């Protein structure tokens, strides 16, 4: 029997991998969210099937069909993301179900792993605003890490940044390749997977060069903007 207890008020720091078991969720008398394979006559909801699939379910106050557009717009603006991209990730990750839990333990709309949620200070990954805040922040981090290469950032969102760095491109993982294609298809309408690599991504940013004329007539070229009025080259 396996039980995973997660408080809605504390960072999630525990991850338990469960093989071939139905997983149920209930809230105990203290308001703690509990996950277990043996609900023991408690009023619980099944959230993971024994075959590893997700169970679509909803609460009266938080429907899986709820529109999160306002939250997405707010977080996308905060982290300089296209709202359509955030929507595409949510659609691919959870199909808009804020209570979704994967067989690997990823939670909520943008499917945050417990360790990732903890690193991002997401206390309740099933709260749509907290989840989208954390997922958007993490996505922005990955985009910057891979120097604006969205394909690599999405691959890292699915497989982890270390897997992308080891592969030097999108890892040869069927799930990851399908994930990237689906998100990009929803976001851009294109169904092919762009050819990209971490090596290509590292040379995309160019550095500004400034020309400075000194009082003695000499000219200095530098990458440091010593004077705001210096022209860029």
Contacts of 184 (CB under 8 A, 6+ apart): 88, 150, 151, 154, 190, 193, 194
Give 162-189 pLDDT, tens digit per residue.
999 999 999 999 999 999 999 999 998 8
Q: Is 93 a catalytic residue?
A: yes
Highest CATH level, class, for 3-145: mainly alpha
Q: What is the pLDDT at residue 179?
A: 97
First vs last C-alpha separation in the chain: 67
Residue 133 has pLDDT above 60, yes or no: yes
Q: Which residue has the higher pLDDT, 43 or 133?
A: 133
Strand partners, 4: 35
pLDDT digits (tens, 9 = 90+) for 6-55: 444 333 333 344 444 566 666 666 666 666 767 666 666 665 554 545 54
The single residue of 29, 56, 93, 175 carrying the catalytic annotation is 93
- The vertex-132 CA angle with 128 and 135, nearest 5°, equals 140
By C-alpha distance, which of 74, 54, 73 is closest to 64?
54
Share of the chain above pLDDT 90, in %: 50
Could you tell me the pTM of the whole model?
0.62
Domain boundaries of the chain, sorted by first residue: 3-145, 206-233
């Amino acid at each position: 029997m396996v039980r995973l207890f997660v408080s809605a008020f504390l960072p999630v720091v525990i991850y338990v991998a469960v093989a071939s078991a139905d997983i149920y969720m209930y809230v105990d008398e203290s308001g703690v969210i509990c996950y277990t394979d043996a609900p023991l006559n408690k009023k619980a909801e099944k959230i993971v099937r024994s075959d590893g699939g997700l169970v679509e379910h909803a609460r009266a106050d938080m429907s899986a069909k709820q529109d999160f557009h306002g939250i997405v717009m707010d977080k996308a603006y905060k982290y300089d993301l296209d709202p359509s991209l955030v929507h595409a990730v949510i659609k691919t990750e959870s199909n808009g179900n804020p209570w979704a839990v994967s067989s690997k333990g990823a939670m909520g709309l943008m499917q945050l792993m417990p360790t990732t949620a903890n690193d991002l200070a997401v206390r309740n990954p099933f709260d749509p605003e907290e989840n989208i805040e954390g997922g958007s922040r993490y996505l922005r981090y990955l985009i910057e890490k891979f120097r604006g290469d969205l394909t690599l950032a999405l691959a890292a969102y699915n497989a982890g940044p270390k897997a992308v760095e080891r592969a030097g491109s999108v890892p040869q993982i069927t799930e990851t390749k399908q994930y990237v294609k689906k998100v990009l298809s929803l976001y851009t309408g294109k169904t092919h997977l762009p050819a990209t690599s971490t090596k290509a991504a590292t040379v995309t940013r160019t550095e500004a060069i400034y020309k400075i004329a000194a009082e003695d007539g000499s000219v200095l070229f530098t990458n440091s903007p010593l004077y705001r009025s210096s022209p860029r080259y």
